[in-house]
Structure 1
Amino acid sequence: MRRIVITGATGAIGAALAKHYAEAHAKGCRLELHGRRSDVLDEVADACRRLGAEVETSRVDLNDDDALFAWLESLCAPTPPDLVIVNAGMNIDIGTDNQGEAWEDASRLLAINLRVPMAMGNFLGKHMRAAGRGQLVFMSSLAAYHGLPVTPSYSASKAGVKAYGEALRGWLAPYGVGVSVIMPGYVSSQMCHDMPGPKPFLWQPERAARRIATGVARNRARVSFPFPLDFGCWWLAVLPAAISQRLLKWLDYAEGSKS
C-alpha cells in the first residue's frame, strides 16, 4: 500500500492533492494528512475515506522541533513513506498603504515556509537515502524567480525552498530518492485572493493538483505552471534586475492596493 504524507492538507492545494491521490489509488493508498484547522482537516480526511483511502491525521506543531521530529520518526517506522508533499505555508504582504511587513509576521512566515521544509527535508532525506527509496516534494512558487515588491518575505521564502529542493535532488538522486520542486502561479484559495496585485491565469485547485501529481509521478525536477506566467516569471529572473523591476511596476505588482 502506498503511503503518502501531505502537510498543509487544509489549504486549497493540499486538500485537492489529498483527494486526488485518494481517488487515483483508491484502496491502495494510505494518507497521512497534516493541518492546523481541525474542522477542515476532518472534512478532508472524511472525503478521502469516502474515496477509498485509509487516512490518518495529525495536528502536530510543525514549528516545535521536538514534536516535529517525533512525528517524522513515527512516519518512518519501520520504513519511510513513499511520498511526502511539504505544502504547509502562509503569506503576508506590505499592506494597503505600503507600510511594510510586521517583523513578527515575517518571522512566522519564514519559520513555516522555509525552516520547516528544510527540517523535514533534512530528516526525511537521510531516512529515504538509507532506505534507497522515496520522494520529497517541496512547494515553492513562481514568485521564487524574482521577488515581488508586494510580498518580499513570501518571495524570499519560496526562493529558498526552490534552492533547497534543487540541492536535495542532486544529493539524493544517486540513492534512488526523488525530489521535485513545485512552482505554481495563482491557484484559487483564500491565501491567493488575499494577496495584493493582479491574478492572471488563475487556476482552480483541482487542476493544479492534477498537474502536480503528473509531474511528481514523472519525478520532474521542477513542476511550474501555468505556462504563460511561468515563461514570463522566468524572464524576470534572467533579465537585468532594473528591467524586471520596471516591468513589475508596470504590471501593478509594486503597489500595496489589492486587486
Structure 2
Amino acid sequence: MNASPCAGRHVLITGATGGLGQALALEYAEQGSRLTLTGRDPDRLALVADRCREKGAQAHTAVLDMRDGPAVREWIRGVDDACPVDVVIANAGVSSSLGPNDVAEAIEDVRRLFAVNALGAVETVSALAERMRKRGHGRLVLISSLGGWCGMPSSPAYSASKAAARVYGDALRAWLSPYGVRVSVVSPGFVDSPMSRRYKGDKPFSRSPGAAARSIRRGVDRGRAVIAFPGILALGITLLNLLPPRLGDAILRKFFAFSVVPDAESPRRGSA
C-alpha cells in the first residue's frame, strides 16, 4: 500500500535559498517528512530541494517574491488545502544600512525591508493562523533578529522591521496558545550566510547556518516562545536596553557601528 501523500510532518519554509533557510530545510529533511520551500532563486531552490530528497524527504517548491502579499497568501493556503501544514517558518529576510558618511537609507530600501521582513512574515503566518486555531494544533515560527531587540543606529529599517515581526509573533502567541497552537519568535545573532557576509563590522559569536538551524529546531520542538542565541549577546542587548537612552545610544554608536554592502536590488548598489 502506498503511503499517504500527507504522511509525516509537513514543514513550510520561506527564504529557503538563503544560508539559514537552506540549513533549516536540511535540518527538517528526514525520511517521511514533507517540505514545502519557497525562494526567489530557482536554481538554488531546486538544488536545496534535491538535497532534501536525498535525505528521504518529499520536497515541493515555488518561486515567489515575498513582497507580493496576495500571491504569497494564496499559495500558502493552496499548499495547506492539499496537505495541512504542521510547521510554518517565516524566514525570508533582507538587510540594508546607512550609506557612507552616515547618509540616510534610501527610502526604497526602507520600503523593501518592511515589505519582506515585516509584512512578508505577517502574510506567511497569518495565512494559516486561523486554520491552525480551528484544527487545534500547529506551530508558527517567525525569524526575527537580535538586531530587532533595540534600535541599531547603523540600520534603522532592519531593526524596526525585525522588531515588528517579533512583536507580531508575541501577539499571535498570546492569542493562539489557549487553542493548542505554539508560536516561536526566533532572534539569532550573527549567522555565517551570504547576507551576513555583506555586513561590514564585528560579528561576535557568529554561528554556522547548520548550528543555528539545529538550535531553532530544538527550540521549536520544545515549544519555546522565545529562541534567542547566542545567550551572552542576547543578555548584553537586554542590559543595554535598561540603560538611559542617551547612554545606550552612545554605546551603540561607538561599539556597534557597521555598514551593509548593498544587494542587487538596492538603489545604492551602483554607488557602493
Which residue of 1 is the match for residue 78 of structure 2? 74
Return 191-200 or 214-223, whichever deviates more: 191-200
Decide whether the 8 Å contact of 2:97 with 2:154 is kept in 1. Answer: yes
Structure 2 residue matching 1:84: 3-state secondary structure? strand
Decide whether the 8 Å contact of 1:183 with 1:225 is kept in 2. Answer: yes
Alignment match of 1:20 (pick from 14, 21, 27): 27
2:185 corresponds to 1:185: no
Structure 1 residue 239 displacement after superposition: 2.0
Return 190-199 or 109-118, whichever deviates more: 190-199
Structure 1 residue 196 displacement after superposition: 3.5
The one-character-per-residue Cα deviations of 1:64-112 (angstroms, maximum 9, x if unpaired) are 2331222011122156300000000100110232211100111011101
Matches within 5 A, 1:218-233: 218-233=222-237
Which residue of 2 is the match for residue 11 of structure 1? 18
Which residue of 2 is the match for residue 124 of structure 1? 128
Matches within 5 A, 1:28-177: 28-77=32-81, 80-177=84-181
- How much is the aligned-residue C-alpha RMSD, in angstroms? 1.5
Identity across the alignment (%): 43
**Matched residue count:** 254
Instruction: Kindly provide the amino acid, as one letter, of the partner of residue 154 in structure 2.
Output: V
Q: Distance in 2 between matches of 1:86 and 1:175?
A: 21
Structure 1 residue 121 displacement after superposition: 2.5
Instruction: Kindly provide the amino acid, as one letter, of the partner of residue 152 in structure 1.
Output: P
Matches within 5 A, 1:194-205: 194-205=198-209
Structure 1 residue 4 displacement after superposition: 0.3
Query: Runs of 4 or more off by more than 4 Å in structure 1?
Result: 255-258
Q: Distance in 1 between matches of 2:260 and 2:207?
A: 22
Return 74-83 or 107-116, whichever deviates more: 74-83
Q: Distance in 2 between matches of 1:100 and 1:159?
A: 20
Structure 1 residue 28 displacement after superposition: 2.0
Structure 1 residue 175 displacement after superposition: 0.6
Structure 1 residue 228 displacement after superposition: 1.4
CA distance 1:195–1:257, shift in 2 (3 Å): closer
Return 115-124 or 90-99, whichever deviates more: 115-124
Which residue of 2 is the match for residue 2 of structure 1? 9
CA distance 1:72–1:151, shift in 2 (3 Å): same
User: Which stretches in structure 1 are left out of the alignment for 5+ residues?
Assistant: none
Which residue of 1 is the match for residue 270 of structure 2? none
Instruction: Kindly provide the amino acid, as one letter, of the partner of residue 197 in structure 2.
Output: H
Structure 2 residue matching 1:174: 3-state secondary structure? helix
Instruction: Kindly provide the amino acid, as one letter, of the partner of residue 19 in structure 1.
Output: L
CA distance 1:43–1:240, shift in 2 (3 Å): same
Q: How does the TM-score come out when normalised to structure 2?
A: 0.89
Which residue of 1 is the match for residue 267 of structure 2? none
The one-character-per-residue Cα deviations of 1:178-204 (angstroms, maximum 9, x if unpaired) are 100000000001211212421111111
Structure 1 residue 236 displacement after superposition: 2.0
The one-character-per-residue Cα deviations of 1:29-60 (angstroms, maximum 9, x if unpaired) are 00001111111111111111111100000112
Which residue of 2 is the match for residue 214 of structure 1? 218
CA distance 1:80–1:257, shift in 2 (3 Å): closer
CA distance 1:147–1:198, shift in 2 (3 Å): same
The one-character-per-residue Cα deviations of 1:109-162 (angstroms, maximum 9, x if unpaired) are 110110111122222111111111110000000011111111110000011111
Q: Distance in 1 between matches of 2:55 and 2:65?
A: 28
Instruction: Kindly provide the amino acid, as one letter, of the partner of residue 48 in structure 1.
Output: C
